[in-house]
Amino acid sequence: MFTLYERKNRQKSNVNIFVMNYVTNLTKENLAGERIGVFFGTFAPLHVGHQAEIYKAAALNDGVLVVTSGYTGDRGQQIGLPLRKRFRYLRQAFADEWQIKVDYLNEDGIPKMPDGWDVWLDKLLGIIKRNIVNKNAKITFYTGEPDYKKEIEKRLGDNPQFRVSLMDRTILNISATKIRKEPLKYWDYINRVFRRHFVQKVVVMGSSNSGKSTLIRRLARSANSPFSDDFAAIYQEESNVADSEMDIKDYSNIIQGQYQANSLEINSPANNGLAIFNGDAISLQAYSNLLLNQDERLQLKHLYNTIISAEEFDLILVIPPFSDPRRKVIRFTGAAIDPVAYYQELIRLIDFYGFSDKMVVLNAKNQTDDPAGYYARYLQALDAIEKYTSFDIEHHR
C-alpha cells in the first residue's frame, strides 16, 4: 500500500498506474469510481450473512458504503448496542478494507415508517453524497427486504443513476434476530468485532493462596475458553514491589492493567463466548482498603468506580476462606493479609456495588477424599457457569 506522500508524488508523474486508496483506522478517503454500492441496515450485530453480501457488493462495484441506521431505544440499543457503538464496531470491522467505507444514519426525529420514507431517504442520499468522489456515479442499493426495494424504487425509480438489488437471504439461514435471542448458539456467525458484546464474563475472586489461579485455569480449559492472568502478581514481580510498599500509583497501574488484560481475552480470536478473569477492580479494592489509609482510599475511589461500572461481569465466583494443612505457600510479594478479613471486605463491596445477585460463593461441601474442597469448588463453579451464562460445559460428577 502506498503512503499518501508516495501516492501524490506518483500522481505528479506521467506513469499511468492504479493506486489503492490510503487507509487508516480512523479515516478513509471518499469512495471513487463509476459504480458505488450502498448497503444499509441496523447491524445489531453484524454477521456473516451481512458480510457475504457486502463483499459481493464490493466485488461488483468500485466501492461500497455501509450505513448503519437506528434511533434512541431501537432493537440494538435494547441489548446494549446503540447506534454510535454499532458505527464504531463496523468501522473497526472494515478498517483494512480500502474499498469499503462506513457511516451512520441517525433516525431520531424521523417519522416512523412508512411515514418517514421521504425524510429517511433524503438523509441517506446526503450521506452517500458526502462519502463519494463522483457525484454522478451509478448507485446500487442492496437490501434483503422487498418492501424496502419497493419504497426506494417508488421514489427513485425514474432516476437512471439509482437502482435497487434485492438480496437472497436464503443462502445463509441466519439473522440478527436469532443472534440477539441466542448469541452463544449462533456464535460462529457473529462478526469477531461484535463478539465482545455477547461474551459471557466470569470473574473468580479469592484471597492469596486460595487456589484461585489454578481453579481459573482449569475452568477455562474445561470450556476451551480464554482466561486472564493476575496482573497484580505480574506487576509486583516486574516492579520488584512488595505489598507493604505499594502506593496509589501502583494500585492505579494495576487497576488499569488488569482491565486491559481482561479486555484482551474478551477480544481474543480464541473467545468462544466465555471468558474467565483472574483479577478485577473489586478484588483489588478489597485488598487496598485493608492496606491504605483513608485519604489514599479516597484518591483511588473514582478510578475504582469507573472501572467497576465498565467491567459488567455476568457471574462472580467467590472462594471463601478454607483450611488446607498441606498448602503452605508464602506470597513472594510479602505476607498476605488475613483471608477472613479480605473475604468479608469482598462480600461487603460486592453488595455495595449491587452485584449480590450475580455472586456465587463456592462453599460446596467437602468429601472425605477431597478434604480441602478443591474438586467440590471446581464442580460447583462449572454448574454456576452453566446456570448464569447458558454456556454448556460438558462435565461429569
Task: State the pTM of this model.
Answer: 0.84
Identity at 219, one-letter amino acid code: L
Q: What is the mean pLDDT of residues 138-142?
A: 96
**Cell 464474563 identifies what position?**
201
Query: What are 371-391's pLDDT values in tens digits?
Result: 888 899 999 999 999 999 988
Dmax (CA) for the chain in angstroms is 85
Least confident of 9-23, 73-87, 93-107: 9-23
Helix (H) or strand (E) holding 67: strand 63-70
Nearest Cα residue to 63 out of 87, 33, 90: 33
Range from 11-15, 331-335, 359-363 that averages highest in pLDDT: 359-363
Fold match flag (31-179 vs 199-389):
yes
Q: What single-letter DSSP state applies at residue 245?
A: G
CB 311 within 8 A of CB 284: no
CB 337 within 8 A of CB 242: no
Helix (H) or strand (E) holding 69: strand 63-70
pLDDT at 334 over 70: no
Q: What is the mean pLDDT of residues 181-199?
A: 94
Nearest Cα residue to 316 out of 212, 208, 187, 397: 212
Q: What is the mean pLDDT of residues 107-123?
A: 93
Cell of 25: 483506522
What is the total residue count of the chain?
397
Q: What is the mean pLDDT of residues 225-234?
A: 95
**Cell 459481493 identifies what position?**
56
Q: Where are the domains of the chain?
A: 31-179, 199-389
250: helix, strand or coil:
helix
Q: Give the start-end residues of each E strand in 267-364.
A: 274-277, 315-318, 359-361
Query: What are 146-163's pLDDT values in tens digits?
Result: 899 999 999 998 899 999
The mean of the pLDDT values for the chain is 88
Helix (H) or strand (E) holding 105: strand 100-106
Q: What single-letter DSSP state applies at residue 22?
A: P
CB 44 within 8 A of CB 76: yes
Band (pLDDT 50/70/90 cuts) for residue 31 is: very high
**pLDDT at residue number 369:** 82
Per CATH, the homologous superfamily of domain 31-179 is: HUPs (3.40.50.620)
pLDDT at 280 over 60: yes
CB 251 within 8 A of CB 301: no
What CATH number is given for 199-389 in this structure? 3.40.50.300
List, as residue ranges, the binding site.
40-43, 47, 107-120, 143-145
**pLDDT at residue number 11:** 40
Distance CA 87, CA 253 (A): 31
List, as residue ranges, the binding site for NAD(+).
40-43, 47, 107-120, 143-145
Distance CA 201, CA 205 (A): 13
Cell of 67: 450505513
Least confident of 175-179, 294-298, 368-372: 368-372
pLDDT at 20 over 80: no
pLDDT at 9 over 80: no
Q: Phi/psi zone of residue 240: left (φ > 0), alpha (ψ -120 to 50 degrees), beta? A: left
Band (pLDDT 50/70/90 cuts) for residue 327 is: low
pLDDT at 67 over 60: yes
